[in-house]
Structure 1
Amino acid sequence: MSPEPTVDQLIQAAHAHAASDDPLDLLDAVLALTRDVSSRSDLAVDQIMKQARDAGYSWTVIGERLGVSRQAARQRYNDRVAHTPATLGPVRGREVQAGLAAALDAAEADQLAEAGTEHILLGLLTDGVAAATLEQLGVSREKIRDAGHRLFGRPTDPAHTGRPVFSAEARAALAAAERLAAERTPGCVPVTVTTPQLLAVVATNPGSRARRVLNDLGVDVADIKRLLHCYINVPRIPFGRRSRRGRPGKKQPGRCSFCGHPRSQERRLVAGPDVWICSECVAVCGEILARPADAET
């Protein structure tokens, strides 16, 4: 779990988000930041409370955990739980969180106020599928750092100290990765943003700083798409619906429920109850399962 932000970090974030350095603008910014943290904390409590109620726990048991009476717990949370959605939207996986922390570390090392998509690209080399993909294409942290300095320069007299924040471009990339996760995650499982999805977003945006770094390093983005295809090409629809497309009563050829490719002579499918998996996805699963259990995150 990330540590609670310090006073200095909140003030630095307020400076980054405020309209100006006027104390009143800074006051507006810091109030907005603290309200956002408080709101997200309340939403987290409400969602876990809903999970507890859905699991069959009584208000008496929940009240005991809260240190209040059954009546007090019910009065405080009953209406809130009733209006709490099943999920709060896409969740960033642990490998994504580690990559984003590494991106901020890289920007902080250069004494920058903001971390851009080039820093996200560097952070994605921390762990996971995105790291393996970039390493396979000969991309390293040192190469990304050198290309970023060459393309975007370095501050000759850095004035910023402390933790940077993500740039507008980087925040837009994170939002796009969340949308991609929502679109490509099967409807029966929680939506989690993964490193392949985030890499696909930052690498395929022609105007992004990350794409400019990859171009400078001679990396063909088509190779990234090819290597990530099996990890992100899963439309968010209930399993089995693909087989019922077309005219009623006409049997359709099966498609892999994971990558979406149709059955062919080269791509054989293993069928389950309204689910199929192709030989290539089976091979990927075999590689994942062959890893030591303690290496999984």
Structure 2
Amino acid sequence: MSEEPTVEQLIQAAHARAGNDDELALLDAVIALAQDVSTHTDAAVDQVVRQVRDAGHSWTVIGEHLGISRQAARQRYTGRVDRVEEAPPPVGLIRGRDLESSLSAALAAAEADGLAEAGTEHLLLGLLTDGVAAATLERLGATRDKIRDASHRLFDYPTGPTPPQHTVFSPQAKGALAVAEQLATERTPTCAPVVVNTPQLLAVIATNPGSRARRVLDDIGIDTADIKRQLHCYINVPRTAFGRRSRRRSRPDERSARCSFCGHPRTEERRLVAGPDVWICADCVALCGEILALPSGARSK
């Protein structure tokens, strides 16, 4: 195995990736390299854990080698080594750990319902597992019990015991995931790796009027507009070279005014306030006010 790269080698690689001498471009490149290394490391551990399981070793033995308990090893890796491959990401796209955990939880929820396919209502349940989507749903009052009860009222699920089966994602759920991946691709700065996380998936299933997840949200009284406001700054990043405007300190051009946070242009309905080389729209101002009004612990979710 080759030696671990030094800090100087990593910075040199980041310079090559950035392609110019701009300090912020270098920062973007270093962050991208760190994400690549972290993702590949996680994937390597997942693959080897799968091989160990296939060889017949128990979760107790695996936990001992990982330095965690049997229960923790099983909870952390069962979904990641056995489930997520049901809907592999396209080449060149990375799924965040929060999204992988959510997809695994969605399949587990469908299995618990005795279903052969996990629908978008199960994706909604899975999104309560981790990440920005979980914090958003919890903030708006969504719970697993509410979502589960609404799903069982709205849809036909088996009532008796069912034999074990290999659950997969429904075509609608796969379609929602594909749209979320496309959204992440469109909104990621061109210098950064495309990473899809839970905000994109929640935005897709919540704003699709025909999705089962949307029907569940309507049933439990959660307004889709509230979800969109909460996720606004996570999914609306202009796809420019560095995902931001020039750092030149001057008043922005009013003829091409766009919100520097969400990327939307100025319209009659969307008013903008100008700053040094930046604009901010009324929606983003309102969202900032809501975030700052939260307790400090809740803002970090």
- TM-score w.r.t. the length of structure 1 is 0.58
Alpha-carbon distance in structure 2 between the residues aligned to 1:241 and 1:130: 24
| In the alignment, structure 1 residue 185 sits paired with structure 2 residue 170 | no
Residue 224 of structure 1 corresponds to: 227
**Closer, same or farther in 2 for the Cα pair 1:185/1:283, shift >3 Å?**
farther
Structure 1: 5+ residue stretches without partners: 8-36, 41-86, 244-249
Other structure's SS at 2:180 match? helix
Shift in Å at residue 276 of structure 1?
A: 7.0
Percent identical among aligned pairs is 60
| In the alignment, structure 1 residue 197 sits paired with structure 2 residue 197 | no
One-letter amino acid matched to 1:229: H
**Closer, same or farther in 2 for the Cα pair 1:93/1:112, shift >3 Å?**
same
CA contact (8 A) 1:108 1:162 kept: yes
Other structure's SS at 2:50 match? coil
| In the alignment, structure 1 residue 147 sits paired with structure 2 residue 150 | yes
Shift in Å at residue 183 of structure 1?
A: 0.8
- Which stretch has the larger CA shift, 233-242 or 135-144? 233-242
Structure 2: 5+ residue stretches without partners: 1-41, 55-84, 247-252
**Closer, same or farther in 2 for the Cα pair 1:112/1:194, shift >3 Å?**
same
RMSD over aligned CA atoms reads 3.7
**Closer, same or farther in 2 for the Cα pair 1:230/1:105, shift >3 Å?**
same
Residue 209 of structure 1 corresponds to: 212
CA contact (8 A) 2:259 2:280 kept: yes
Equivalent residue in structure 2 for 1:90, among 93, 101, 114: 93
Other structure's SS at 1:4 match? helix
Alignment coverage as a number of residue pairs: 208
Q: How is 1:54-93 mapped onto 2 (pairs within 5 angstroms)?
A: 88-93=91-96
Alpha-carbon distance in structure 2 between the residues aligned to 1:89 and 1:284: 35
**Closer, same or farther in 2 for the Cα pair 1:286/1:218, shift >3 Å?**
closer
Alpha-carbon distance in structure 2 between the residues aligned to 1:213 and 1:141: 11
Shift in Å at residue 140 of structure 1?
A: 0.6
Q: Deviations over 1:136-157 (max 9, x none)?
A: 2211111000011111132023
| In the alignment, structure 1 residue 107 sits paired with structure 2 residue 110 | yes
Alpha-carbon distance in structure 1 between the residues aligned to 2:254 and 2:279: 15
